[in-house]
Structure 1
């Protein structure tokens, strides 16, 4: 099973999050840290352990290195684990050694990034492991500026990536079809204008299946279909147009996932993976 429709986000680099780190530092340290700067000397040293406090999947360590560089901190990061590692309570992820003042100033910022991305990776891991025969897809329901990081976290956890942005792949919805005059015309117009780009067609009624298959998009999205209509649609598409991939979306519940897991190689897109995220409990234990 291919993990996604377009090129998956298998890694992140500093250009993907440097602006976010800059904003975070400006937000948290507009005029220094009055508590730390008052109570601690600049030459005091420490060793701190990045520690998991609950089970989950680790993600976001590259951001930590960027934070150290941008704060000119006299701190050395010594990783023990890498992104994608399975965490249990008490797992030591790595250590920071050096300036105590620098570690105290960056603590909340680095934890915010790593806890958030690890939370997304953990979300994706739980669903992907429970339903291994489904393609668990993310959406564009992400915090502005965090899109690539969030999709990287989904992939790290074992999920798959839908389109990264509006430029990467076409998705035809009812408004687009209405403008073109028909499903067939909409698919053909977009395909002629964008050769080589994948086209996904969203439909919301079983009565549209035949026209959708005849238009031959790369993917047909069944939006808010009932279980009965979902089963009929999948059988018809797989029986008549096996080259077209199938995706289900809209109101995806645990019960709906259990139903969909009867089928093989069905994509299920879930905004839940990135927009309903609990920070994974990770702490920085300063010695």
Structure 2
């Protein structure tokens, strides 16, 4: 269709003339897939406009559409999909299904609709699972119909996003369940360029988001304290900056690594001469369970507390029982194991 050839994903539009001439002689044989137990099919262009089951977090400058464009663009360069162009006639229509090859939590369904729409809005799609739903090994949870070139053009980009996001959501769900009543957070340890999808997947898995970046929360860590000279100096400087820039809605988190540093922060909170009005959270970094529980008791609910360091599936439950408000884990995004999902095609 014209729609399929005018967008980034149009392989034919990118192909050299000699390759375009060869497509009519290519084979249309592709592996068969069992049909998904589908509901009503919908154009990808329309599905992409539906509100997601779980909304993406906000970022003032990040564009999911641009991330999709870049991912599609790097796959074809200025040539095109020469595998499809050399083997499959352009007019070939196919049906494809998505198959879960492991148990987990599905994430990236809403983003997959946007990928399909960017490649060919006339591809139709039906889902039996949505973001946040559990999938089991052997579940066929999506069916697509349309040009074989369009489906295969979208395949790897779609799977790359969905497998990574589903892996993050799966680990987040396990950690969040074990951490209760504490709430799981991720960190900024995300893949460059994928900050928003990574953090979106944490929400899908049942966690909450830490700060999006360096711009939306002041986080006074050990290096800031060292460069400022002291915890007190860093806190005073941070408040002065917020006041000077009319950033009344921005909060401050202070990192502590020892009980002595916890005592320093408490003294600042008690000191009426020091403005600590924006200090809303204190990080307890790499502390023992006993020290975390004591720190929580000492703060007495005046600020939120966040446990960090040595957070694993084996340790997170005990950490959650210390009374901390949040538990943050970089492993949610920096050590993710992708959920195994395959796309299988049959020709109609």
* TM-score for the superposition, normalised by structure 1: 0.88
Larger of the two Rg values belongs to structure: 2
For residues 84 and 111 of structure 2, what CA distance do their matches in structure 1 show? 23
1:204-239, CA deviations, whole angstroms, 9 ceiling, x for partnerless residues?
A: 11112222123332111111112332232222222x
For residues 263 and 271 of structure 1, what CA distance do their matches in structure 2 show? 20
What is the aligned length? Answer: 275
Is 1:206 aligned with 2:259? yes
Query: Residue 164 of structure 1 is aligned with which of 187, 209, 212?
Result: 212
Structure 1's 222 and 51: CA in aligned 2 closer, same or farther, altered over 3 A? same
CA contact (8 A) 2:296 2:324 kept: no
CA contact (8 A) 1:184 1:214 kept: no
Residue number in structure 1 paired with 2:115: 67
Is 1:26 aligned with 2:85? no
For residues 152 and 226 of structure 1, what CA distance do their matches in structure 2 show? 31
How many angstroms does 1:74 deviate by?
4.2
How many angstroms does 1:145 deviate by?
1.3
- Mark the runs of 5 or more structure 2 residues left unpaired by the alignment: 1-53, 243-247, 270-278
For residues 97 and 222 of structure 1, what CA distance do their matches in structure 2 show? 51
Structure 1's 12 and 79: CA in aligned 2 closer, same or farther, altered over 3 A? farther
Residue number in structure 1 paired with 2:288: 226
CA contact (8 A) 2:97 2:343 kept: yes
Residue number in structure 2 paired with 1:266: 325
Structure 1's 89 and 270: CA in aligned 2 closer, same or farther, altered over 3 A? same
Residue number in structure 1 paired with 2:173: 125
How many angstroms does 1:67 deviate by?
2.1
Query: For structure 1, which segment, 275-284 or 29-38, has the greater mean C-alpha deviation from structure 2 after superposition?
Result: 29-38
CA contact (8 A) 1:59 1:114 kept: yes
How many angstroms does 1:94 deviate by?
1.8
* TM-score for the superposition, normalised by structure 2: 0.74
- Mark the runs of 5 or more structure 1 residues left unpaired by the alignment: 1-8
Q: CA RMSD in A?
A: 2.0
For residues 325 and 101 of structure 2, what CA distance do their matches in structure 1 show? 35
Residue number in structure 1 paired with 2:148: 100
